[in-house]
Amino acid sequence: MASLKVGIYCRLSEEDRNKQSETDDSNSIQNQKSMLIQYTLEQGWEVYRIYSDDDYTGADRNRPEFKRLISDAQQRKIDIVLCKTQSRFTRELELVEKYIHGLFPLWGVRFVSVVDNADTANKGNKKSRQINGLVNEWYLEDMSENIKSVLINRRENGLHIGAFALYGYKKDPGQKGHLIIDEEAAEIVREVFTLFSQGYGKTAIARMLNDRGVPNPTEYKRLHGLRYRQPRKKQSTLWKYASISDMLRNEIYIGNMVQGKYGSISYKTKKNRPRPRDQWYIVENTHESIIDPELWDKVQSLIKERAKPFITGEIGLFARKACCINCGYVMRSRKMSDGRRYLSCSNHHVSKDACEGAFISVAKLEQAVITELRRFTSEYLDKDELEKKVEFQNNWMAEKKRLEKDIAVYQKKEEEYARCIRELYLDKSKGILSEYEYLDFSRSFSAEKERFETLAAEAEKQLTAVMDKMQFESNCRQRIEQYTNFEKLDREIVDNFVERIYVGRRIPGTWDVPVEIHWNF
């Protein structure tokens, strides 16, 4: 008989980090590996792979090795997931239920944690695993609140708590939470402010820096071995309009510490959202300024003067929807001398080598979207197509009824086996069954009960997915019928139907501009 394949999962926790160097595993990870390998050998199992996440919290769902472990488990490459404790696998009760009690049994994968004796092969300790999950969840929440209170205190005292210093500054090695000027980068910051005060636009300033080969803030930090935020995808080394704009508004350059512009949504996710200015933490004169007050005031006055008046109070028709097909950069709107509005790729203007550019009039793009939308709606609402939709909907309805029937059967079976288990216990108490007979029957009935519980849970998931699709189909049709007759687009129609529009450069010798529309359904 083939030995069982084990996926050993190790994770470093905050409280026992002990790094030897940046590239070495921590002592904690090494100890976990040694203990779990020894345990595997004692059980006569075979190590398939060791999955090791160092410097990741138990609430992080994007741990790379954790995701690889889940993928291998789903593909049945491993029979057992082995950890030191359940909390090393996850501290979230939701993930305990999703994987340890939900998907792992479906995939035929056993979960074992050595120290706290969690083992899905032992039917009797499910409650203890759930309690462990709940305790770990409380731990996460308490730890989050404690960290938050410490960070708030440091922010209120004007101490810099970010992982990365703002371009133009670097962290003071002699004083934690203090910034000192990085003179080489600070010279560029002063130049940007000076050029803007002399009347140069943000795009023009970006182009000047790019033409001279000045690396943008991220590239500068990379070249100088400074810490910087790692981009998710390949980052451009060019200065852009947005980076100039952000720099000109940042009060840190006048010696004020500004933090808390973004706040986390929940302790369960790393996603942040913008916070209103009155919730920021602003402490004046915490470090040496790069920009003097007179220059700062002049620049802020110019920014205010150049701000476009919000006459209509409405967002642009294709704002944040139209992108350059060549570089993916969001196109910006501009008004030409003839009074018409055009969209162009602003990335094209920051450097001659950045992008070949994209350009189209708003009117022409609007007509292209209207034409495509009319064609789409006419096809969708065509009688023959409608019949197909009805048939499609009927198929979903039949699937819904089948799943509801299956769930009722599974739940009835669960109840029957639960009743049988209760009756077995009574029979044992009365002496009708021996201890051996009771245990034998009980194991069999419990296994069947759990099997039907799993089947019911899976069917309920499928039912939810079917109902979501039925609702989506219904909403989609209602939205399309709502906009069957229109001559002009408005922002509501664009938001309802358009996910993204990619615009290219005019085809030489013609007036045709490539337009690629991605619909919002």
| Confidence (pLDDT) at 6 | 94
| Confidence (pLDDT) at 150 | 66
Over residues 440-446, mean pLDDT: 80
Over residues 79-95, mean pLDDT: 85
DSSP conformational letter for 233 = S
Over residues 129-150, mean pLDDT: 59
Percent of the chain with pLDDT over 70: 76
Average model confidence (pLDDT) across the chain: 79
Q: What is the pLDDT of residues 157-192, one digit of tens each?
A: 888 887 788 999 999 999 988 999 999 999 999 999
Q: What is the pLDDT of residues 49-59, one digit of tens each?
A: 999 888 777 66
Q: What is the pTM assigned to this prediction?
A: 0.44
Over residues 368-382, mean pLDDT: 74
Distance CA 36, CA 30 (A): 10
| Confidence (pLDDT) at 23 | 46
Over residues 182-205, mean pLDDT: 91
pLDDT(132) > 70: no
Report which listed range, 162-166, 438-442, 480-484, is most confident. Answer: 162-166
Length in residues, the chain = 521
| Confidence (pLDDT) at 27 | 55
Tokens matching residue 479: 């939205």
- Give 135's contacts (C-beta < 8 A, 6+ positions apart): none
Q: Which amino acid is at 151?
A: L
For residue 281, the SS3 value is: strand
Fold adopted by 5-155: Rossmann fold (3.40.50)
For residue 9, the SS3 value is: strand
Query: 59 or 498, which is more confident?
Result: 498
DSSP conformational letter for 11 = E
Over residues 371-376, mean pLDDT: 80
| Confidence (pLDDT) at 511 | 85
pLDDT(60) > 90: no
| Confidence (pLDDT) at 349 | 66
| Confidence (pLDDT) at 19 | 45
Q: How far is CA 276 from the centre of its chain?
A: 22
157-306 CATH: 3.90.1750.20
CA 38 vs CA 29, 33, 80, 359: distances in Å? 14, 8, 15, 65
**Helix runs in 158-201, H state only:** 183-197
| Confidence (pLDDT) at 180 | 93
- Give 229's contacts (C-beta < 8 A, 6+ positions apart): 163, 164, 218
